[in-house]
Amino acid sequence: MADMTSTADAPRSPGRPRSIRADEAIIEATLDLLAEGSTIEALSIEAIATRAGVGKATIYRRWAGKDALLLDALRRLKGVMAQPAGHSVRDDLVLLVGAIGKNVDPRAAKIMPCLAPAVNRSADQFQLYQNIISPRRQLMREVLRRGIDEGVLRADIDVEVTMALLTGPMLIQRVLQWNPDLDEQSLPERVVDAVLEGIQVR
Amino acid sequence: MADMTSTADAPRSPGRPRSIRADEAIIEATLDLLAEGSTIEALSIEAIATRAGVGKATIYRRWAGKDALLLDALRRLKGVMAQPAGHSVRDDLVLLVGAIGKNVDPRAAKIMPCLAPAVNRSADQFQLYQNIISPRRQLMREVLRRGIDEGVLRADIDVEVTMALLTGPMLIQRVLQWNPDLDEQSLPERVVDAVLEGIQVR
């Protein structure tokens, strides 16, 4: 029941149980602090607890430490992963490429580009970044392998290089606005079609 | 003559004329301040002058303003542009792709990734970034157009998308260490060969 975690000294509120509201507040505080310019290194559990209005123990009950909390918070920025329908390899790739570098939360524009320097600075942060993106990479790998199994894609293609060809253009255009002569809207389809040209069975 | 710009109150030094030494000191001061963590916005001509040991007027005699100075300084980080030999389209593309995200100056690793957030923050900085990379993009465009003229590449390819396919994988791998399963050393050749597969005349 929704209010089972409420205690006598807290005002009853409708809706989510208190523990979920605390989790939300902690995630929100983390993202707010990052969006306001705190670096990942400088961010402390103490600062997050203060901002969220909870005790540090509340955070440690839910997350093993700062990295685990950051992983949840940064995944939140990216939203739910796109799920390929599994009918057409081309459609599935257009869906996955279209989701690259896209974020559902407006704070992402301030937070995500700052990950690049962080990734190069420490092994922990490299791992954090990999933990965020590797499930998405895996989805794309599965679509390509399915394409090979179904005989749509050539069996001798280099799957990892193909993934980089699909991902790189979209990422540099969305994150760096790499080439003003490229239309971001049509880019997923154009990239997928250009890559398919080299990897599909004729 | 090398010492013509020396004045009586400065000790004579062998080698470069004083104005060139001042230019060098100003560029070096700019790069040092950025590498030490100054943001592009926060960097002032005053701070650069102090660090370089010159007056602000010396800087303004040589550069129109901060953006012009930054452009020279950041171009210095990237070193001399690779020059395609013009014999083989494949070799030229491998050369250009191999130079992507490569910097000759060790301060670049600290400075360049921080450009990404800056690029998205202001039109000036977007323009600065474009001024650095557009000559490199143009070199690649010319190689592709030459390939079309020579009948090596199909005439119906989308040159801008092809450039993004060649550039994106290398840039995300060098700057973000995007995929630990990709070998950076062999990536230029593998990317070029994969892209050629889709665009060459058969």
CB-CB neighbors (< 8 A) of B113 in chain A = 116-117, 120
Q: Residue A42 pLDDT more than 70?
A: yes
Of A129, A137, A194, Cβ closest to residue B198: A194
- Cα of A61 to nearest chain B Cα, Å: 32
Q: Where is pLDDT greater, at B194 or B132? A: B194
Which chain A residue is nearest to residue B101, measuring alpha carbons?
A172
Assembly ipTM: 0.80
CB-CB neighbors (< 8 A) of A172 in chain B = 164, 167-168, 171-172
Tokens of residue B134, six digits: 């557009």
Q: Which of A127, A132, A165 is the best mutation test for B, with the most CBs of B within 10 A?
A: A165
Q: Which class is domain B81-199?
A: mainly alpha
Task: Give the CATH superfamily of A82-199.
Answer: Tetracycline Repressor, domain 2 (1.10.357.10)
Of B114, B158, B178, Cβ closest to residue A117: B114
Condensed to tens digits (0 to 9), the pLDDT of residues B90-108 reads 999 999 999 998 877 888 8
Instruction: Please name the residue ranges forming H helices in A36-65.
Output: 45-52, 56-62
Q: Where is pLDDT greater, at A107 or B138? A: B138
Q: Where is pLDDT greater, at B63 or A78? A: B63
Residue range(s) occupied by CATH 1.10.357.10 in chain A:
18-75, 82-199
The span from the first CA to the last CA of chain A, in angstroms, equals 58
Residue closest to A197 by CA, chosen among A154, A163, A136, A155: A154
Condensed to tens digits (0 to 9), the pLDDT of residues B17-45 reads 667 789 999 999 999 999 888 888 889 99
Residue range(s) occupied by CATH 1.10.357.10 in chain B:
18-75, 81-199
Instruction: Please name the residue ranges forming H helices in chain B.
Output: 18-35, 45-52, 56-62, 66-78, 89-99, 108-111, 115-121, 123-149, 159-176, 187-199
Q: Which of A36, A161, A193, A200 is the best mutation test for B, with the most CBs of B within 10 A?
A: A161
Q: How far apart are CA A191 and CA A99, in angstroms?
A: 13
Q: How far apart are CA B168 and CA B3, in angstroms?
A: 47
Contact B168 A163 (CB under 8 A): no
The span from the first CA to the last CA of chain B, in angstroms, equals 59
Residue closest to B81 by CA, chosen among B28, B119, B129, B133: B133
String of b and e for A166-188 (b: at least 16 CB within 10 Å)? Answer: bbbbbbbbbbbbbbeebeeeebb
Task: Give the CATH superfamily of B18-75.
Answer: Tetracycline Repressor, domain 2 (1.10.357.10)
CB-CB neighbors (< 8 A) of A175 in chain B = 116, 120
Q: How far apart are CA B186 and CA B188, in angstroms?
A: 6
Environment class of A64 (CB within 10 Å of its CB; exposed 0-12, middle 13-18, buried 19+): exposed
Condensed to tens digits (0 to 9), the pLDDT of residues B122-173 reads 788 888 889 889 999 999 999 999 999 999 999 999 999 999 999 999 999 9
Q: Where is pLDDT greater, at B52 or A128? A: B52
Residue type, B111: I
Backbone phi, psi, residue A156, to 5°: -95, 10
Q: Rounded to an integer, what is the distance from CA B60 to the centroid of its chain?
A: 23
Please, what is the average pLDDT of chain B?
Answer: 87
Q: How far apart are CA B51 and CA B39, in angstroms?
A: 16
